[in-house]
Chain A
Amino acid sequence: MAEYKRSQLLADSPSGYCPGCLHGLATKLIAEVIDELGQADNSLNVISVGCSALNILYWGGDFLSVAHGRAPAAATGIKRVNPERLVFAYQGDGDLAAIGLAEIMSAANRGENFTVIFANNQTYGMTGGQMAPTTLIGQKTTTTVYGRDPATTGYPLKMCELISTLEAPRFVARYALNSPKGVSDARKGIKKAFQMQLDGKGFTFIELLTNCPTNWKMTPLQTFDYMNSNTIPYFKPGVYKDTEANG
């Protein structure tokens, strides 16, 4: 096995994420893929609001921190004036699938040439575990104390499925980060999305199923089992759209 080192795109201090939080793993994966592509200096991380904003103190490369839900809009402005940059927005589920739904759908529909990485942990982690648009039916949160009831709160939003109905996006895929296979697949998916962006192909979207040990009130290892039996059956991993698949 080849040498494997901590990416220079991560600060030389522990992340602000809770123990076992897969935001940390997602951030690390992105950093490593950027390193592999030799894009460390050319990459630009558009940091959103929520726990993902902890990357402000953790991400060692260029970044722009933006308003809640607006990362795809800000990334649009960035990419239109600096098309050569490798630009990605890193957004959580509240940020992307609730307050920022218009921005993500519109940017995807315009086929903006950047990558959105969507960390879906089915809760508002930073604010203390309220119901998210992706919260599973029956899941208890601080605003659905008896469990999410579809009669009043609807159903968990499936973003990959939604975005893959659009004409413009080029690569749309979902991966679960609770297993070595899922992590390995996610690494390949992120790399493919970034490469497609560098080749000027258009909009790419990667959804990563993550966890929240703190607000799910589980140990890190318990969240992995919960994901296998609850999250993954509803949010099915896989490639939802790939315009390069037959090319």
Chain B
Amino acid sequence: MGDKRFMKGNEAIAEAAVRGGCRFFAGYPITPQNEIPEYLSWRLPEVGGAFVQGESEVASINMVYGAAAMGTRALTSSSGPGISLKAEGISYLAAAALPAVIVNISRGGPGLGSIQPAQSDYLQATKALGHGGFHAMVLAPNSAQEAADLVYDAWEYAERDRNPVLVLMDGCLGNIMEEVELPPMKELHDEDLPEWSLTRRNGRDWQGNITPIYTELILEGLNAMAGEMYKAWEEDDVKVEEFMLDDAEYVVVAYGIASRVSKEAILKLREEGVKIGMIRPITLFPFPKKSIRNLDFTKVKGIFDIEMTVPAQMREDIELQVMDRCPIYEYGRSGGCLLDDDGVYDAIAEIVKGEDA
């Protein structure tokens, strides 16, 4: 029998992290992600882990950096403004080749923005999570269940690649309650700690050091290796949901909360005979390029980029794959105003029915 619970998306992330082996969390309060640190403050000590409420996001990401260097599965979470503060530390994690998981429960931006949900951090997540030209794998669940599943395995990717992994989910999904079937607790042993880790619990008896600073030629080589890693992700690690694409003349591209709202609109349009489907990136980086590039553009008449942010941020990634083979329309709400299925329906119907008229 599965372990089913009714929980908030944020709580599902926290519990799945523990079951996925997370034993260290540091974070700083910011809405709308507070359930994650609140949950882990009592949950981690139950499993022998440690929780620290940092004095800032800057300190928290560096606490994660320290714990990760010891081979401990470490997590931090925040929302837009706090992720900006963590940018330094995330860049250092990438530089020092340290695995860690960062969760962004996003809200309206820029600046302090609003505390209400928005998908305003796509560009930050996928293009420049910090200085220096690096990428993290970006996972974008659209339900509490998927959030739990993705977080549960996030350290497997992080440790495989020795690179941080970002989970990007908006404040709406973080706070709605849904049924979640929780995965079993992963058993972790000291002897399984990575050999590069600075702990001595892994039996290492040679000098260990981890650094984010290098001499020129070594740094250039590491930059090139990172480039190869990103290419490998595109081959091996793209996650995407393709929905009703077989006969589609119109294709929605949407992730996270926008994909759920869009699905309602798509089902209604289908009832009215509109041949419409959806591509839902689950990994935003690597972006599911092939799903869009390989669409049959002899049939597809238009692409809709639906996001809960204005202007749409995923549009350039879509454009690069569509290559002017059909028009791209965008619709969204932002600032903390929620997308709703009527709004999405109307935006699509206006184009679709206008063209057909």
Q: Do A and B come from one complex?
A: yes
Contacts from A to B (Cβ < 8 Å)? 41-42, 44, 46-47, 53, 56, 59-67, 70, 73-82, 85, 102-103, 105-106, 110
CB-CB contacts below 8 Å: B216-232 with A: none
B-side contacts of A75, CB under 8 Å: 66
Which one, A41, A42, A70, A77, contacts B74 given CB within 8 A? A77
| Chain B interface main SS type | mixed
Choose from B23, B92, B209, B212 the contact partner of A81 (Cβ within 8 Å): B23
The one of B24, B56, B66, B88 that contacts A74, using a Cβ cutoff of 8 Å:
B66
Q: Is B166 an interface residue (CB 8 A)?
A: no
Which 9 A-B residue pairs are closest in the complex by CB-CB distance? A77-B66, A74-B66, A77-B67, A73-B62, A106-B55, A77-B63, A65-B211, A70-B62, A80-B50
The digit string for B238-279, where 1 denotes a CB below 8 A from any CB of A, is 000000000000000000000000000000000000000000
B50 and A81 form a contact (CB under 8 A): yes
Quick one: given A65-B209, A81-B70, are A73 and B59 in contact (CB under 8 Å)? Answer: yes
Binding site for A on B (CB under 8 A): 23-24, 26, 50, 52, 54-56, 58-60, 62-70, 72, 74, 88-89, 92, 96, 198-201, 205, 207-213
Contact A65 B210, beta carbon cutoff 8 Å:
yes
Residue of chain B at shortest CB distance from A53: B213
Residue of A nearest to B214 (CB): A56
Between B50, B52, B62, B68, the greatest number of chain A beta carbons within 10 A of the residue's beta carbon is seen for B62
Chain A min CB distance to B58 (Å): 7
Contact A60 B52 (CB under 8 A): no
Tell me how far the C-beta of B189 lies from the nearest C-beta in chain A, rounded to whole angstroms: 15
CB distance from B219 to the nearest CB of A (A): 13
B198 A62 Cβ-Cβ under 8 A:
yes
Question: B207 — which chain A residues lie within 8 A by C-beta?
Answer: 60-62
State in angstroms the CA–CA spacing of A58 and B64 once bound together: 26
A46 to B65, CA, bound (A): 11
CA distance A187 to B279 in the complex (A): 65
Write out the residue numbers on chain A whose beta carbons fall within 8 Å of the beta carbon of B68.
77
The answer to whether B55 touches A64 (Cβ under 8 A) is no
Q: Mind listing 27 A-B residue pairs with CB under 8 Å?
A: A41-B205, A44-B198, A46-B66, A56-B213, A60-B207, A62-B207, A63-B211, A64-B198, A65-B213, A67-B88, A67-B89, A70-B58, A73-B59, A73-B65, A75-B66, A77-B64, A77-B65, A79-B66, A80-B67, A81-B23, A81-B24, A81-B72, A82-B70, A82-B201, A85-B200, A103-B58, A110-B52
